[in-house]
Structure 1
Amino acid sequence: MSNPLKVINISQSTPTIAKELLDAATSQGFLFLEGHDFTQKEVDQLFDLSKDFFNLPTDYKLKYPVDSSNHGYAQMGKENLNPSDQKQGDPKEALNITSLNFETGTSSLVVPDWITDDKDRDALVSNTIQKLYQLSLQILQYLAIALEIENTENTKGEDWFASRYKPDLSSGSTFRFLHYPGQKSLNPESVIRAGAHTDYGSMTLLFQKENQEGLEIYSPVSKKWEQVPFVPSTIDGMAPPIVVNVGDLLSYWTAGLLKSTIHRVKFPKKVQETGQDRYSIVFFSHPNDDALLEPVPSEVIRKIEGRGANKDTNYITAKEHLQKRLSATYGWKQ
């Protein structure tokens, strides 16, 4: 399988990294990020934890149902990421952990006691959440530098995004375990495991496993669906590159310059035939709830007319945007 995405190594800061990230974000909207500080051991432990959780009895998992805060367990078919084209919910289950405090890596809401009552599991989850938050801020800082965001009265240009991600304030950021049960049917209507969609926040960071491929993007470059392969690590002892993609808010803030690319999960033929399950671990990075979706103060963005935040004068907040998207996904009334 060919790889349509750039692999960018951020382990050594160089003058070209910011430009490389911006080029990827403005072309495909997706990239592979190497040089993060997640070890293979850590990521293996996360996937083991995820598999063990989803193997728990359904009655136990349903004690923690997903609610209007997007927190909790979403059972099979609960979520529909493409409600305009799909009548049935997606054939997957998920555990969402929201209402996060990034100073502690913990949620203010109830997390399954199978995790919180076990010291090792609890520490693994909270440490992962903190590290993913810090990594997302690092990426945002590079993008701010590449966009040449201007200094404002209270904020340096390179910190413009980060200033809207205060660790102790509420946000829509979500840490998520996902399980797509395998199936052997070759019915083309049954191979979509997560409907075509864009992500609701600013950026998404994704761990995926070898031989559990399925992610596809609708490439803004080729104008067709492209499979995203598994890419192994080139750094000894470290986990494979993390898939990073731009979400709606970064695209909106930048008047569409950064691409929030449509993507889906579709089981490849070999996975259908083997009945292989797919597990993925995702961090959806959102700004603080009260962050306004206003134009980024950058000459690069100012030149783009009639798109995203540049076309509006009444700006909504990040929380208002998220509530609209979640209402459509879960069928909730606003």
Structure 2
Amino acid sequence: MSATGVPIIDLSPFEGPDAEESRNVELAVKEACENIGFLVVTGHGVPDDVILRMRQVSTAFFDLPERLKRQSVSEPGQTMGWVPSQKESLAATREEDTPPDLKESFDIRRPDAPEDEYYNSGMGQYFFRPMVWPKDPDEFRETWTEYYHEMERLAQRVMRLFAGALNLPHDFFADKLDRSVDYLRCVNYPAQDEEPLPGQLRAGAHTDYGTLTLLMTDDAPGGLQVQAPTGEWVDAPNVPNAYVINIGDMMSKWTDGRWVSTVHRVVNPNDSVRGSSRRLSIPFFQNPNYDALIAPISPHDGTNQKPQEVFMAGEWLMAKQNKSRVK
């Protein structure tokens, strides 16, 4: 357990040869998800060189002149491709009126979606529309695609772990995530040459929308803070090449609120380092299939549905995204 109350958990024993050690990982994750909704994981299996190349190519992209980044700008009203600074207000998803967030980002969806009706009609056209890839750097598309698939594999592993922690079969969520609406995003928090507006943060207080988030961040001033059950804001621990995992709203709904989707934010650096405090974060957001129905499940056998609380994952996700966009 870290000093902040966000636990650091080694995933490597999960599904290994020692059943007791594997179960201990599940129990540690269960406790974290019930108490704070955040954990930091090592033993995740993502190669260090893949993480390094993802950082390097993304930094090179954000260092490009704005005129070149605009060649990959998202469609009007959408968050895909390059999204300039102050075009998103995450606090608005909680009905808070704050200035836009001080960040720019690049987003992709599934980079190789099959040509079938699920991906190419209705909500599929919204969630899986074609990408406009940057021309520079040359290796951008290849690197992002490779990293996306590493995150997809890790997210699927974590969901098997979540199922075990809920005393469900490890494959319980598989058919709800086999065509998942996953987003890979890299966020550049530039050094702040000017003082932020009152109430303006790098990322306003919010909860994530889906099942889980995998976050690779760096050790730079002005970072991630988690709201503890006491209401206190605590810094998330920084462990080199470890992933911060938090559960989102839909995972909390699936557990009938037993697991908490915790409010978090990214704060500004203090005045003494504001002009030299660039920060790069790489979150991967896993969301269920857009046609998956979200309803409370029994912690034992998955049969205790509550139809009055059912909603479709895609509708929830679209509503949250629309609230966050600065008009």
TM-score scaled by length of structure 2: 0.84
Q: Quick check: 1:74–1:94 contact (8 Å CA) kept in 2?
A: yes
Aligned 1:34-45 pairs, distance under 5 A: 34-45=42-53
Contact 2:51–2:147 (CA<8 Å) still a contact in 1? no
| 1:15 counterpart SS class | helix
Asked whether the 8 Å contact 2:6–2:237 carries over to 1, the reply is no
What secondary structure is seen at the aligned counterpart in 1 of 2:308?
coil
Residue 147 (structure 2) pairs with residue 136 (structure 1): no
Structure 2 residue identity aligned to 1:135: L
What is the DSSP-based 3-state SS (H/G/I as helix, E as strand, rest coil) of the residue aligned with 1:96?
A: strand
1:325 corresponds in structure 2 to 320
Q: Could you say which residue in structure 1 is the equivalent of 2:80?
A: 71
Q: Letter of the 2:42 partner, please give it.
A: E
Does structure 1 residue 97 correspond to structure 2 residue 92? no
- Please say if 1:278 is aligned against 2:279: yes
Gaps of 5+ in 1: 150-156, 233-239, 304-308
> Across the two proteins, how many residue pairs are aligned to each other?
303
Distance (Å, rounded) in 2 between the aligned partners of 1:197 and 1:181: 20
Q: What do you get for the CA RMSD once the two structures are aligned? A: 2.7
The structure 2 residue matched to 1:145, chosen from 137, 143, 164, is 164
Q: Identify if the C-alpha distance between structure 1 residues 326 and 183 changes in structure 2 by more than 3 Å, giving closer, same or farther.
A: same
Are the aligned partners of 1:203 and 1:285 in contact in 2 as well (CA < 8 Å)? yes
Aligned 8 A contact 2:202 2:266 in 1? yes
For 1:50 and 1:331, locate their aligned partners in 2 and report how far apart those are by CA, in whole Å: 24
Q: Which residue of 2 aligns with 1:256?
A: 257
Question: TM-score, structure 1 length as denominator?
Answer: 0.82
The structure-2 alpha-carbon separation of the partners of 1:208 and 1:215, relative to structure 1 and needing over 3 Å to count, comes to: same
> CA offset at residue 10 of structure 1?
1.0
5+ residue gaps, structure 2: 15-21, 115-127
**What does residue range 126-275 of structure 1 map to in structure 2 within 5 Å?**
126-149=145-168, 157-166=169-178, 169=179, 171-183=180-192, 189=198, 192-220=201-229, 222-232=230-240, 240-269=241-270, 272-273=273-274, 275=276
Q: CA contact under 8 A between 2:107 and 2:185: conserved in structure 1? A: yes
Instruction: Provide the rounded CA distance (Å) in 2 between the counterparts of 1:270 and 1:225.
Output: 19
Distance apart, 1:91 and its partner CA:
1.2
**CA 280–260 in structure 1, closer or farther in 2 if over 3 Å, else same:** same
Shift of 1:294: 1.9
Kept after mapping to 2: 8 A contact 1:254/1:301: no
Distance (whole Å) between structure 2 residues aligned to residue 229 and residue 158 of structure 1: 29
Using the aligned pairs only, state the percent identity. Answer: 27
The CA deviation at 1:225 is 0.6
